[in-house]
């Protein structure tokens, strides 16, 4: 032990001395010595280490010249039987690399001219490259927090959007598939919410977008959220990411910390997701076909009462709870739906959910034609994806073709050209992108109404199926990217991309659904928009080794020009069944055009970098020991019009590859170990030009003064010239470990992110004329831990392998500042509250303490001698009595009103993660993916609603909201069940609209929304060589099978704790997630 210690000391000093050198070198410019070189011919063979098969087509490239300087020169490739031969100077470092294998790097010395190179199949992720900002880095060199997902694990499972498949796979990315609408997206947040804004009202509240930036093949994509603060409610609502076929994706990178995202400028403030599509890589052309047949089934349906049960329940309720029994009889006789049970129109037991939900079968196909090598390769990918929704009258399908070509006409120049076109169609039925309100209403109809048949085809309830709501999204994109290696080791990159998208939505509502019957006739709504984007990026980067330092500088500029146009028209009062403009009622028709919106931004890129190299080229893995990467990205932003704003997004990253330290050389079990720390700030002008300057509204019909048109300022929102940009600052501390021959891989990150100057609206006093003003006074802090643990417990053998990946992230958010220095803001009709020091989106609820067993249990106001009552009503009905819920009177005024709501529970998940397992036995591969969400409070609004339907026993609006829940399973108050009842008396319908015992915003309906979900199990069986040969010249064939959304373990009493709004409300109108089974075939010719 002592000896070891004494060995250690001098090395430590040596390190210190090196650091000393580094510091000196910052000031003194040194020129490295060039060694004289002598050429030698290196010959050898390349073999697979495990199978000892020879490997053809392995690239042998020169990575360091004789002087030790890093270069990248293509050398040669192995030919027949894996043999190669190359003539290089002595001292050159060569690298043998091949797809799917770990590369092997070796130094040529004079003594060893014949090499047998054994390549192991890839399991070392350190050599993989990640794109951080504009530069590619190996994982070992990367300082930022980046997660790389290989799409190979994903493709066996069918999904419209690749994001659906990433659930539970990326630490720190919370994906909630909270709506099952085909073609729509769930919510994704990276490292917690970053915007406390909500839109909508009551239970229909949606979180403002905190969507990450998507970059597909180097081109930043527009996201739906960018154009529409309401999220997906308007327009066609097809997510652009749904337009990228999963089969065509090579890998996905998720950039989480600010060092990584700062490089994308302001748009990367909420994280960046980089999607890289496949490229051709085969000397002979290859055709790869993937096809699948799928079956989607609806989830468990909600329990309802049907037929006689329902009628009896209603009659019972009327006789026992009406003002008098005689009035009860009168109510029954008055309503034919109750009394005329012999009438075939009312004598039914229709389960409406069955009418609307269905099992569908679908298919998708993908064909890729590709080929080529490094100097020239090409790919054509054709895709068809179909998904009929499990709710009738909804669905999504997509047709897409993309082409990609890469050409390297000479050593230093490379050009990549890409073009594609996709067409997406979606049918949203009677709802919008997030919910199915029409169907929800229909499915809640009374079971006494007749089922669909010839003579009831135009029944109001069935109208949800009569609505035709089609959206089409048609996109074209083309881009050219070039790379030019200029003299002096300068690399010059250019990107030019053009993107054009049109979106159309047409909604036809049949006349029987038009609410205002006086205006008979159907209506036709049409929204159209088109969007074009030109994106140009040009930058040059320069790298130079100066002794032990590697200095780099990247300079360039980026221009993003967008233009969008939209229009909408509503034709109402059309003759029924007729499409088109003939015969509409002009007085109720309307239309409008937003002629053109231009939004251009330019950014200047300036990113210096330094890294400290190892003096001796002798460390494991070949990485540098100390890496320091600072960068700044100034950006010129035109969002504020003539006030051009410069934002600066600075960041730095430091990494210590400690496993490469000489003093840890003896720790053989440690294959890799590094500590990363990064800091970065992303500054983003989120406000629009109208927020800053105000909007002036010309051309408004009827705005004339003395016959002359006038232009008022828009008094909706006050101009605010000094709106600060949203600044999010992130600290990240990460630890990467690989141990025991890479059996265990661990990545952990702790982060602290502060988002300052968030936009929020404050309501103004009316003497200011304007309704609201935007401020940048909200600050939010997110902090948390993320870890990802990969275990490969069995040594990779030919027959069996297994990898398990466990991902966990814990996020906590704290509000640190609110506008006007207030302590708390209650917003959106009291559904959420923002309180300083608390989490950003707490539930704001009435506290329920059970049910009053007897009238005498209700507290009495000593001042008036009267019982507790609800606010807003002075009648006798308002006083609480037996069977009513016990709401806690927080302010002690003996009136239950909105002042008695309390902050209870957090609507956002605290912990998310997943376990993902890959098994291979011989030709069979199995992937099991699970995910979980822990510690989230959700509101079972759907249950509250269905209890609430007892408010109308006469079924006066039997068409809607008439369904009754079989409440026998619930412990509710009746005169015979007074003590210990959990749910209030639902039958007391004469008072229900006053007391509102079944209001959703009470703790009675708050439940634990934690769940553990088996997302999917997919299997692939690859056919053996013999079978392939028998079938013809087939290179590879897999048979796949998968089951998706298999089971959710949860204490939640509703259907699905995931299928809730962003604020945790489970609405009956939510589009349920289907369960999907698929069988597929994957063939490569």
CA angle 53, 54, 59 (to 5 degrees): 135
Rounded to the nearest whole angstrom, what is the least distance from the CB of residue 415 to another protein in the complex?
7
Per-residue contact flags (x/-) with another protein for residues 984 to 1023, judged by CB under 8 A:
----------------------------------------
CB nearer to another protein: give 859 or 872: 872
Exposure class string for 78-99: b at 16+ Cβ within 10 A, else e: beeebebebebbbbbbbbbbbe
DSSP state of 14: H
Q: Interface with another protein includes 351 (CB under 8 A)?
A: no
Q: Does residue 653 contact residue 678 with C-beta atoms inside 8 Å?
A: yes
Please tell me the count of residues contacting another protein according to CB under 8 A: 76
Q: Interface with another protein includes 703 (CB under 8 A)?
A: yes
- Contacting another protein within 477-496 (CB under 8 A): 480, 482, 484, 492, 494, 496
Region near another protein per CB under 8 A, out of 48-56, 672-680, 695-703, 961-969: 695-703
Exposure class string for 951-960: b at 16+ Cβ within 10 A, else e: bbbbbeebbb
CB nearer to another protein: give 6 or 708: 708
Q: Are strands 869-870 and 895-896 parallel, antiparallel or unpaired?
A: parallel
Query: Which of 100, 487, 707, 975 touches another protein (CB under 8 A)?
Result: 707
- Contacting another protein within 383-402 (CB under 8 A): none
**CA-to-CA dists, residue 828 to 53, 306, 994, angstroms:** 67, 36, 21
What tokens appear for 390 in the block?
């499990």
Rounded to the nearest whole angstrom, what is the least distance from the CB of residue 229 to another protein in the complex?
15
Region near another protein per CB under 8 A, out of 211-219, 632-640, 839-847, 994-1002: 632-640
CB nearer to another protein: give 316 or 696: 696
Query: Which of 37, 401, 713, 750 touches another protein (CB under 8 A)?
Result: 713
CB nearer to another protein: give 497 or 896: 497
- Contacting another protein within 640-659 (CB under 8 A): 640-644
Query: Which of 85, 348, 489, 638 touches another protein (CB under 8 A)?
Result: 638
**CA-to-CA dists, residue 780 to 688, 722, 727, 813, angstroms:** 21, 20, 11, 7
CB nearer to another protein: give 354 or 593: 593
DSSP state of 203: T
Q: From CA 759, how far away is CA 619, in angstroms rounded?
A: 49
CB nearer to another protein: give 52 or 767: 767
Q: From CA 527, how far away is CA 503, in angstroms rounded?
A: 8
Rounded to the nearest whole angstrom, what is the least distance from the CB of residue 75 to another protein in the complex?
21
Rounded to the nearest whole angstrom, what is the least distance from the CB of residue 601 to another protein in the complex?
7
Q: Interface with another protein includes 1026 (CB under 8 A)?
A: no
Rounded to the nearest whole angstrom, what is the least distance from the CB of residue 220 to another protein in the complex?
16
- Contacting another protein within 824-883 (CB under 8 A): none
Q: Interface with another protein includes 559 (CB under 8 A)?
A: yes
Q: Interface with another protein includes 718 (CB under 8 A)?
A: yes
The residues, ordered by sequence, that sit 6+ positions from 886 with a Cβ below 8 Å of its Cβ are: 848, 849, 850, 851, 852, 857
Region near another protein per CB under 8 A, out of 102-110, 716-724, 823-831, 994-1002: 716-724
DSSP H helices, 871-972, are 941-948
CA angle 463, 469, 470 (to 5 degrees): 150
| Phi/psi of residue 852, nearest 5 degrees | -65, 120
- Contacting another protein within 661-690 (CB under 8 A): 688-690
CB nearer to another protein: give 307 or 819: 819
**CA-to-CA dists, residue 438 to 432, 935, 1070, angstroms:** 9, 32, 11
- Contacting another protein within 564-593 (CB under 8 A): 592-593
Q: Interface with another protein includes 1049 (CB under 8 A)?
A: no
Rounded to the nearest whole angstrom, what is the least distance from the CB of residue 215 to another protein in the complex?
18
Q: Interface with another protein includes 600 (CB under 8 A)?
A: yes
CB nearer to another protein: give 536 or 1079: 536
Residue 49: other Cβ atoms inside 10 A? 15
Rounded to the nearest whole angstrom, what is the least distance from the CB of residue 641 to another protein in the complex?
3
CB nearer to another protein: give 557 or 1081: 557
For residue 352, give the nearest of 273, 459, 224 by alpha carbon: 459
CB nearer to another protein: give 480 or 675: 480
Q: Interface with another protein includes 376 (CB under 8 A)?
A: no
Q: Interface with another protein includes 457 (CB under 8 A)?
A: no
Q: Interface with another protein includes 716 (CB under 8 A)?
A: no
Q: From CA 1, how far away is CA 630, in angstroms rounded?
A: 40
Q: Interface with another protein includes 97 (CB under 8 A)?
A: no
Q: Interface with another protein includes 710 (CB under 8 A)?
A: yes
Question: Which of helix, strand or coil describes residue 319?
Answer: helix
Q: From CA 209, how far away is CA 215, in angstroms rounded?
A: 17
Query: Which of 371, 452, 621, 694 touches another protein (CB under 8 A)?
Result: 694
Q: Interface with another protein includes 768 (CB under 8 A)?
A: yes
Q: Interface with another protein includes 773 (CB under 8 A)?
A: yes
Rounded to the nearest whole angstrom, what is the least distance from the CB of residue 71 to another protein in the complex?
22
* DSSP secondary structure letters along 55-101: -SS-EEEEEE-TTS-EEEEEEEE--GGGEEEEEEETT-EEEEE-TTB
Query: Which of 18, 25, 636, 750 touches another protein (CB under 8 A)?
Result: 636
Rounded to the nearest whole angstrom, what is the least distance from the CB of residue 484 to another protein in the complex?
6
Q: Does residue 245 contact residue 166 with C-beta atoms inside 8 Å?
A: no
Q: Interface with another protein includes 767 (CB under 8 A)?
A: yes
- Contacting another protein within 505-544 (CB under 8 A): 536-538
Torsion-angle region of 547 (φ positive above 0: left; ψ -120 to 50: alpha; else: beta)? left
Exposure class string for 19-44: b at 16+ Cβ within 10 A, else e: eebbeebeeeeeeeeeeeeeebebeb
Question: Which of helix, strand or coil describes residue 273?
Answer: strand
């Amino acid at each position: 032990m002592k000896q070891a210690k004494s060995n250690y000391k001098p090395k430590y000093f040596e390190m210190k001395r090196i650091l000393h050198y580094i510091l000196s070198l910052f000031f003194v410019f040194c020129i490295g010595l060039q060694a004289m070189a002598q050429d030698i011919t290196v010959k050898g063979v390349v073999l697979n280490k495990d199978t000892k098969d020879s490997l053809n087509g392995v690239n042998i490239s020169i990575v360091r010249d004789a002087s030790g300087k890093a270069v990248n020169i293509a050398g040669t490739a192995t030919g027949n039987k894996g043999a190669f031969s190359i003539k290089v100077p002595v001292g050159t470092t060569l690298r043998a690399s091949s797809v799917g294998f770990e590369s092997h790097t070796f130094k040529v010395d004079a003594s060893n001219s014949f090499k047998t190179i054994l390549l192991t199949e890839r399991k070392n992720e350190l050599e993989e490259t990640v794109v951080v900002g504009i530069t590619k880095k190996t994982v070992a060199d990367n300082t930022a927090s980046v997660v790389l997902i290989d799409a190979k694990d994903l493709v066996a499972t069918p999904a419209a959007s690749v994001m659906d498949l990433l659930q539970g796979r990326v630490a720190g990315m919370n994906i909630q598939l909270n709506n099952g609408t085909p073609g729509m997206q769930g919510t994704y947040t990276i490292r917690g919410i970053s915007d406390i804004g909500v839109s909508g009202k009551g239970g229909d509240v949606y979180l403002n977008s905190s969507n990450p930036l998507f970059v597909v093949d180097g081109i930043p994509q527009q996201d739906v959220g960018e154009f529409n603060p309401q999220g997906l409610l308007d327009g066609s609502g097809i997510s652009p990411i749904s337009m990228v076929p999963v089969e065509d994706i090579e890998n996905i990178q998720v950039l989480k910390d600010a060092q990584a995202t700062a490089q994308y400028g302001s748009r990367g403030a909420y994280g960046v997701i980089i999607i890289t599509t496949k490229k051709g890589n085969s000397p002979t052309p290859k055709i790869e076909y993937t096809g699948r047949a799928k079956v989607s089934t609806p989830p468990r349906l909600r329990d309802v009462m049907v037929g006689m049960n329902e009628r009896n329940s209603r009659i019972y309720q009327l006789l026992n709870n009406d003002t008098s029994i005689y009035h009860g009889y009168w109510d029954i006789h008055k309503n034919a739906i109750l009394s005329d049970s012999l009438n075939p129109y009312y004598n039914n037991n229709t389960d409406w959910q069955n009418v609307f939900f269905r099992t569908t079968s679908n298919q998708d196909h993908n064909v890729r034609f590709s080929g080529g090598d490094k100097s020239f390769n090409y790919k054509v990918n054709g895709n068809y994806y179909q998904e009929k929704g499990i709710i009738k009258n909804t669905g999504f399908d997509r047709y897409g073709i993309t082409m990609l070509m890469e050409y390297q006409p000479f050593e230093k120049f490379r050009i990549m050209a890409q073009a594609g076109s996709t067409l997406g169609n979606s049918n949203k039925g009677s709802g919008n992108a997030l919910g199915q309100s029409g169907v929800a209403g229909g499915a809640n109809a009374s079971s006494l109404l007749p089922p669909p048949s010839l003579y009831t085809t135009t029944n109001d309830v069935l109208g949800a199926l009569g609505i035709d709501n089609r959206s089409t999204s048609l996109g074209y994109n083309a881009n050219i990217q070039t790379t030019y290696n200029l003299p002096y080791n300068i690399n010059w990159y250019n990107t030019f991309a053009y993107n054009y998208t049109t979106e159309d939505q047409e909604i036809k509502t049949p006349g029987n659904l038009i609410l205002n019957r006086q205006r008979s006739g159907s209506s036709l709504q049409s929204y159209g928009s088109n969007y074009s984007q030109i994106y140009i990026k040009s930058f040059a980067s320069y790298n130079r080794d100066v002794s032990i330092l590697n200095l780099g500088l990247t300079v360039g500029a980026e221009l993003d020009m967008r233009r969008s146009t939209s229009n909408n028209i509503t034709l109402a009062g059309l003759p029924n069944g007729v499409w088109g403009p003939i015969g509409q009622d002009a007085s109720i028709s309307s239309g409008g055009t937003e002629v053109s919106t231009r939004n251009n931004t330019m950014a200047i890129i300036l990113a210096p970098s330094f890294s400290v190299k190892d003096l001796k080229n002798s460390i494991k893995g070949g990485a540098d020991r100390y890496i320091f990467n600072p960068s700044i990205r100034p950006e010129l932003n035109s969002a504020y019009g003539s006030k051009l704003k410069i934002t600066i997004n600075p960041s730095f990253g430091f990494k210590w590859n400690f496993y490469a330290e000489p003093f840890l050389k003896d720790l053989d079990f440690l294959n890799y170990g590094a500590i990363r720390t990064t800091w970065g700030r992303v500054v983003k002008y989120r406000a629009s030009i109208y927020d800053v300057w105000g909007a002036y509204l010309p051309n408004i019909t009827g705005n004339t003064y003395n016959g002359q048109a006038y232009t008022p300022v828009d008094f909706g929102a006050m101009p605010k010239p000094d709106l600060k940009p949203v600044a999010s600052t992130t600290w990240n501390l990460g630890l990467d470990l690989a141990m025991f021959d890479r059996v265990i891989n661990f990545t952990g990150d702790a982060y602290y992110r502060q988002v300052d100057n968030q936009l929020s609206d404050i309501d103004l006093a009316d003497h200011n004329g304007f309704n609201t003003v935007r401020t940048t006074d909200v600050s939010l802090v997110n902090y948390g831990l993320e870890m990802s643990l990969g275990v490969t417990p069995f040594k990779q053998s030919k027959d069996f392998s297994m990898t398990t990946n466990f991902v966990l992230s814990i996020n906590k958010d704290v509000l640190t500042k609110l506008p006007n220095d207030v302590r708390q803001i209650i917003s959106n009709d009291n559904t959420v509250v923002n309180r300083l020091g608390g989490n950003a989106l707490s539930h704001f609820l009435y506290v329920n303490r059970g049910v009053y067993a007897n009238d005498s249990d209700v507290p009495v106001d000593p001042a008036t001698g009267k019982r507790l009552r609800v606010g807003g009503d002075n009648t006798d009905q308002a006083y609480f009595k037996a069977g009513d819920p016990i709401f806690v009177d927080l302010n002690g005024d003996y009136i239950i009103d909105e002042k008695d709501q309390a902050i209870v529970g957090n609507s956002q998940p605290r912990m998310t993660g997943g376990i993902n397992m890959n098994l291979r036995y011989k030709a069979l591969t199995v992937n099991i993916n699970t995910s979980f969400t822990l510690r989230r409070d959700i509101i079972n609004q759907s249950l509250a609603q269905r209890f609430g339907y007892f408010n109308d026993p006469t079924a006066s609006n039997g068409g809607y909201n008439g369904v009754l829940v079989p409440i026998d399973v619930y412990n509710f108050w009746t005169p015979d069940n007074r003590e210990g009842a959990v749910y209030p008396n639902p039958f007391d319908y004469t008072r229900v609209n006053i007391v509102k015992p079944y209001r959703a915003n009470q703790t009675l309906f708050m439940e634990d929304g934690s769940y553990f979900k088996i997302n999917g199990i997919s299997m692939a069986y690859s056919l053996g060589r013999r079978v392939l040969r028998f079938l013809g010249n087939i290179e590879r064939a897999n048979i796949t099978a998968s089951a998706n959304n298999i089971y959710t373990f949860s204490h939640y009493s509703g259907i699905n704790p995931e299928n809730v709004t962003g604020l945790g409300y489970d609405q009956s109108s939510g589009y349920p997630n289907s369960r999907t089974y698929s069988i597929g075939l994957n063939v490569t010719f």
